[in-house]
Structures are given as structure tokens and as C-alpha cells.
């Protein structure tokens, strides 16, 4: 990283928060062997989403390290992990657990020989850099969705995972929910007949950050929070204090996120892609709505299916429309018209999709077997690409032709420039 860590991160803040930040050189030595066969995890990012993932992983693996540029969040995460494992050991569980170490620099976790894998739960603009560095160090990766902050970064993440032969799970966990899998199997097996239209209801595109500057909270290294992105002064909207226990709204701003179309789109477009059998591909045409409408984009696939970014009045959800009826799916419902479509039983000789009932255990199991998990890095990249090219179409407001093999727009240099990450001076994916 280009900036030196601030003195208060190394001294005063650590003292105030009551825990010790371990310097880079205190890491497992060469040839270090983990004390148990439980996979050792390090968390890169320890905010609200990470705390949820802590609950998902704590019984399945040893969470032995965490890093964050906000020491208040890091301290709270540390206390939660310590509380769980202290109780677990008192009950005769987690016998191989040797404690938790907190860091203000994620690279220290990646450098540890005793850490098998990392969980990345940072703002989107950090996903690619952290994932690539972790993969290059031989660490398996679980990265929150949307996988990448740009199409180009996503492809670089896939390449790094493949080059280093690591197991990479994208956090689009709806793939491990029974109702979503059933809906996709119904579509794949023709229970709706030929699909003509898919409607995906999610939020809108991001906008340039226009928040007023505020004083940086004690314990927050704001320069490192911004990292490779274009710099903007601190505002608590981007990084609320841990006491508020709310999701930050950095995802609304294009410097740091892809808008809600990428946030919820990484879930709902993902289900549409899965059902349509497009996990290694994508649409070929994008037609934006007239004027400045925030919704109404149409994607057209090579097989003629039209997928629309529209609101059909049921919250974040997906609607499949076929010759025999329609099917609606969300986290709170799976229904159809006629009603018997949604309750149909998939037969043993029909297409069955990857069956995972636990997104987190699926990843950990694949680390041990070497298999690809249910939402492998390529899948996560293809889904996030669907979101990012939508943002390009909404920004340019003209029809675009997309080549899903080359991952480029045809004959449109201006649109292709928007597939690339925008870094501040001195930063890149490799520096």
C-alpha cells in the first residue's frame, strides 16, 4: 500500500480499544502445521456483513484472525469471536482453537502460513485486489457479492483463482437455498415451456459520491478504507460507527459500489442466469429505456429470451414467463400461475442442479476435495458482469451489443472503457 499506517493505529487507538495489533513479522513460520484438521480462516473486513458471516462459519472452521481499517469494528468482531470460542472450549468443543489475532493490515493475514483461507467482506472496490493477493499466496477465498467492482477486475479474479488452483466461493448464497434451486430446475426442465421473458426486480444504478466531508472517527484509517478507489473525504454514510449496527451505504456510490442493481442484482440476476443455463455466458444485446428512467433496461440472449430490469411489485424477486405460465421466486415466496407449476416434483431422470444446503460448508468441503463450489468464481464474475454492463447501458443511454466470449462491447470504445476499474494515482491490482 502507498500510505504508511497512521501512528494512532499502532499506538493510541490500540490502547484505547484495549487490544493489540500484531506487526507483520509475527506470523506462522515456514512449514507451520495447523493444530487441527479444522480449516483456519482469516477475515478481511469485520463490519456488519462480516459479523453475520462469523455466525455462519464459527462452528464449521477456526476463525483465528481478522483485519480492518476501523479498529472499533475490529475490536467488536474480536470480542464476538473470543466469546464464542471461549464458550465452545468450555463445552469441550473447538479443542484445536488457539486464539484470535487482530491486524490493521490485511496483508499480514495473507502472509500467515497457518491460515488456509480468507473471507472477504469489504466494500466492493477492495474485492479484486484482496482476492488476487490471497490467491497468489495460495489461500482459498470466500468473497462477498457482487464479486467484482468492474468486469475487468472480475476476469482478473477468475484468472488468479485458476492459476493458483484455489477454491473460490462467491457469497451469492441464494444458490444454496432449496426454493431457488427448485425454481431453476423447474425452468431448466421445461415445466413452464419455452421461456420468453424474465423480469428481475432490484434497485437502481449508483451515482458519483457527493457526500459532504466529516471529521474522521478515532480508530479509522480513512486513507486505507478508500484504498485503490478515487479518494473522497470521510462521511459516516460510507462507514457508520459500529454502534449503529446498520449496513453502510457506500454501495450507492460508483467509486465504491455498483448501486443496488449490483448489490441485489448479484442475488437475483444470479438466479436468472442459473435458471437460463448462462453461468458461463450472458446476454448479447442491451436496450436501455427512453429518457432517464432508472429501470426498464432489456437484455436479449442469443436464444431470444428477453430479461428485463423492471419492478413487478413484489420486492426483490425474479419472474419467469413461459408458454405454460409464470413462476415468481424471492426469499419469501415461490409461486406460479397456474399454481401447480411451483409445486411440481422434479423427477430423478430430469436435470438436477448442484445441491447445496449450506453455502459456507459447501466451500469448506470443496477446499478439502478440490471441487468447484456451487458459486465458483467464474459464476460470480458472470453475474456481476450482468450488473456492470447494465450500469454502462444506463450511463450511456444507447443500445449496446455485448460479446460474452470476449467480454467486450462490439465496436464501442467508450462503452468498453467503462468495463475497466478506475484507480487513484499510484494504485493498481498489483501495487
| pLDDT one-digit tens code per residue, 279-305 | 999 999 999 999 999 999 999 999 999
Judge if 138 and 181 occupy the same domain. Answer: no
How far is Cα 306 from Cα 286, in angstroms, rounded to an integer?
10
pLDDT band, very low/low/confident/very high, at 260 (cuts 50, 70, 90):
very high
- The strand order across the sheet containing 195-201 reads 334-337, 325-329, 317-322, 195-201, 306-309, 298-300, 285-287, 400-403, 408-409
How far is Cα 13 from Cα 9, in angstroms, rounded to an integer?
5
Instruction: Find, among 175, 161, 163, the residue nearest to 383 by Cα.
Output: 175
Terminal-residue alpha carbon distance, the chain? 7
pLDDT band, very low/low/confident/very high, at 73 (cuts 50, 70, 90):
very high
Q: Say if 322 falls within a structural domain.
A: yes
pLDDT band, very low/low/confident/very high, at 32 (cuts 50, 70, 90):
very low
**Candidate from 30-39, 330-339, 354-363, 393-402 with smallest mean pLDDT:** 30-39
Q: Say if 347 falls within a structural domain.
A: yes
Indicate left, alpha or beta for 112 from its phi (over 0: left) and psi (-120 to 50: alpha).
Answer: beta
Q: What is the pLDDT of residue 144?
A: 98
C-beta separation of 275 from 182 below 8 A: no
Q: Say if 321 falls within a structural domain.
A: yes
C-beta separation of 213 from 234 below 8 A: yes
Secondary structure of 18-69 in the HEC alphabet?
CCCECCCCCCCCCCCCCCCCCCEEEEECCCHHHHHHHHHHCCCCEEEEEECC
Residue 7 has pLDDT above 80, yes or no: no
Residue 222 has pLDDT above 90, yes or no: yes
Give the residue from 117, 152, 174 where a domain finishes.
174
Give the residue from 153, 174, 195 where a domain finishes.
174
C-beta separation of 161 from 141 below 8 A: yes
Instruction: Find, among 283, 315, 263, 265, the residue nearest to 410 by Cα.
Output: 283
C-alpha cell, 128: 479484486
C-beta separation of 24 from 229 below 8 A: no
C-beta separation of 142 from 119 below 8 A: yes
Judge if 162 and 268 occupy the same domain. Answer: no
Residue 31 has pLDDT above 70, yes or no: no
Residue 127 has pLDDT above 50, yes or no: yes
Q: Say if 224 falls within a structural domain.
A: no
Judge if 169 and 273 occupy the same domain. Answer: no
Q: Under DSSP, is residue 46 helix (H, G, I), strand (E, B) or coil?
A: coil
Q: Say if 221 falls within a structural domain.
A: no
Where is 203: in which H helix or E strand? none
- Looking at the DSSP bridge assignments, the partners of residue 322 are 195, 325
Residue 18 has pLDDT above 90, yes or no: no
pLDDT band, very low/low/confident/very high, at 14 (cuts 50, 70, 90):
very low
Judge if 162 and 181 occupy the same domain. Answer: no
Judge if 283 and 164 occupy the same domain. Answer: no
Q: Say if 96 falls within a structural domain.
A: yes
- Counted domains in the chain: 2
Q: What is the pLDDT of residue 98?
A: 85
Q: What is the DSSP string of 207-269?
A: B---PPP-PPPTTB-HHHHHTTSPP----TTTS--GGG-----GGGBTTT--HHHHHTHHHHH
Q: What is the pLDDT of residue 376?
A: 98
pLDDT band, very low/low/confident/very high, at 431 (cuts 50, 70, 90):
confident
C-beta separation of 287 from 396 below 8 A: no
Residue 80 has pLDDT above 60, yes or no: yes
Judge if 15 and 94 occupy the same domain. Answer: yes
Q: Say if 250 falls within a structural domain.
A: no
Residue 413 has pLDDT above 50, yes or no: yes
Query: How high does pLDDT run on average in the chain?
Result: 93
Helices 71-90, 48-57: axis angle to 10 degrees equals: 20
Judge if 94 and 198 occupy the same domain. Answer: no
Residue 11 has pLDDT above 80, yes or no: no
Where is 68: in which H helix or E strand? none
Give the residue from 125, 157, 174 where a domain finishes.
174
Judge if 41 and 124 occupy the same domain. Answer: yes
Q: What is the pLDDT of residue 255?
A: 98
Q: What is the pLDDT of residue 123?
A: 98
Chain segment 317-374, per-residue pLDDT in tens: 999 999 999 999 999 999 999 999 999 999 999 999 999 999 999 999 999 999 999 9
Q: Say if 279 falls within a structural domain.
A: yes
Q: Tell me, rounded to whole angstroms, the distance of Cα 89 from its chain centroid.
A: 32
Residue 29 has pLDDT above 80, yes or no: no
Domain harbouring 57, CATH code? 3.40.50.720
pLDDT band, very low/low/confident/very high, at 425 (cuts 50, 70, 90):
very high
Whether residue 219 has a cis bond before it, omega within 30° of 0? no
- Counting every residue written for the chain, the total comes to 431
Residue 75 has pLDDT above 60, yes or no: yes
- Range 256-260 average pLDDT: 98
Judge if 72 and 55 occupy the same domain. Answer: yes
**Candidate from 121-130, 200-209, 421-430 with smallest mean pLDDT:** 421-430
pTM: 0.92
How far is Cα 183 from Cα 17, in angstroms, rounded to an integer?
48
Judge if 120 and 201 occupy the same domain. Answer: no
Do β-strands 168-170 and 140-143 pair in parallel, antiparallel, or remain unpaired?
parallel
pLDDT band, very low/low/confident/very high, at 96 (cuts 50, 70, 90):
confident
Judge if 150 and 277 occupy the same domain. Answer: no
Domain harbouring 369, CATH code? 3.30.360.10
Greater confidence (94 vs 42) lies with 42
Judge if 184 and 108 occupy the same domain. Answer: no
| Domain of residue 103, residue span | 7-174
pLDDT band, very low/low/confident/very high, at 2 (cuts 50, 70, 90):
very low
pLDDT band, very low/low/confident/very high, at 36 (cuts 50, 70, 90):
low
Amino acid at each position: 500500500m502507498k500510505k504508511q499506517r497512521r501512528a494512532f493505529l499502532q499506538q493510541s487507538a490500540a490502547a484505547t480499544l484495549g487490544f493489540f495489533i500484531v506487526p507483520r513479522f509475527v506470523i506462522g513460520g515456514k512449514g507451520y502445521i495447523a493444530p487441527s484438521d479444522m480449516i483456519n480462516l482469516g477475515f478481511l473486513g469485520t463490519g456488519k456483513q462480516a459479523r453475520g458471516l462469523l455466525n455462519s462459519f464459527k462452528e464449521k472452521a477456526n476463525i483465528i484472525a481478522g483485519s480492518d481499517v476501523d479498529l472499533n469494528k475490529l475490536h467488536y468482531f474480536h470480542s464476538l469471536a473470543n466469546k464464542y470460542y471461549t464458550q465452545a472450549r468450555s463445552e469441550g468443543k473447538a479443542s484445536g482453537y488457539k486464539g484470535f489475532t487482530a491486524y490493521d493490515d490485511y496483508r499480514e493475514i495473507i502472509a500467515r502460513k497457518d491460515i488456509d483461507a480468507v473471507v472477504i467482506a469489504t466494500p466492493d472496490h477492495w474485492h479484486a485486489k484482496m482476492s488476487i493477493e490471497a490467491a497468489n499466496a495460495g489461500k482459498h477465498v470466500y468473497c462477498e457479492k457482487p464479486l467484482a467492482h468492474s468486469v475487468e477486475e472480475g476476469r482478473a479474479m477468475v484468472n488468479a483463482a485458476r492459476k493458483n488452483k484455489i477454491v473460490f466461493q462467491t457469497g451469492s448464497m441464494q444458490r444454496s437455498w432449496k426454493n431457488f434451486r427448485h425454481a431453476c430446475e423447474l425452468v431448466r426442465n421445461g415445466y413452464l415451456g419455452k421461456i420468453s421473458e424474465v423480469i428481475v426486480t432490484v434497485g437502481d444504478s449508483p451515482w458519483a459520491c457527493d457526500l459532504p466531508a466529516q471529521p474522521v472517527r478515532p480508530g479509522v484509517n480513512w486513507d486505507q478504507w478508500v484504498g485503490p478507489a478515487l479518494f473522497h473525504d470521510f462521511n459516516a454514510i460510507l462507514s457508520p460507527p459500529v454502534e449503529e449496527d446498520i449496513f453502510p451505504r457506500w454501495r450507492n456510490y460508483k467509486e465504491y459500489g455498483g448501486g443496488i442493481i449490483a448489490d441485489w442484482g448479484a442475488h437475483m440476476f444470479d438466479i436468472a442466469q442459473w435458471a437460463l443455463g448462462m453461468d458461463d455466458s450472458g446476454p448479447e444485446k442491451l436496450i436501455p429505456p427512453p429518457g432517464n428512467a432508472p429501470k426498464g433496461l432489456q437484455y436479449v440472449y442469443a436464444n431470444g429470451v428477453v430479461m428485463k430490469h423492471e419492478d413487478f411489485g413484489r420486492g426483490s424477486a425474479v419472474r419467469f414467463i413461459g408458454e405454460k405460465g409464470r413462476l415468481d421466486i424471492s426469499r419469501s415466496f415461490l409461486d406460479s400461475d397456474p399454481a401447480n407449476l411451483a409445486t411440481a416434483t422434479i423427477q430423478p431422470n430430469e436435470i438436477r442442479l448442484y445441491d447445496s444446503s449450506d453455502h459456507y460448508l459447501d466451500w469448506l468441503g470443496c477446499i478439502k476435495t478440490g471441487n468447484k463450489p456451487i458459486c465458483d468464481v467464474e459464476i460470480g464474475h458472470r453475474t456481476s458482469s450482468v450488473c456492470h454492463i447494465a450500469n454502462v447501458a444506463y450511463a450511456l443511454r444507447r443500445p449496446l451489443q455485448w460479446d460474452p466470449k470476449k467480454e467486450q462491447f462490439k465496436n464501442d470504445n467508450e462503452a468498453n472503457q467503462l468495463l475497466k476499474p478506475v484507480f487513484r494515482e499510484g494504485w493498481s491490482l498489483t501495487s
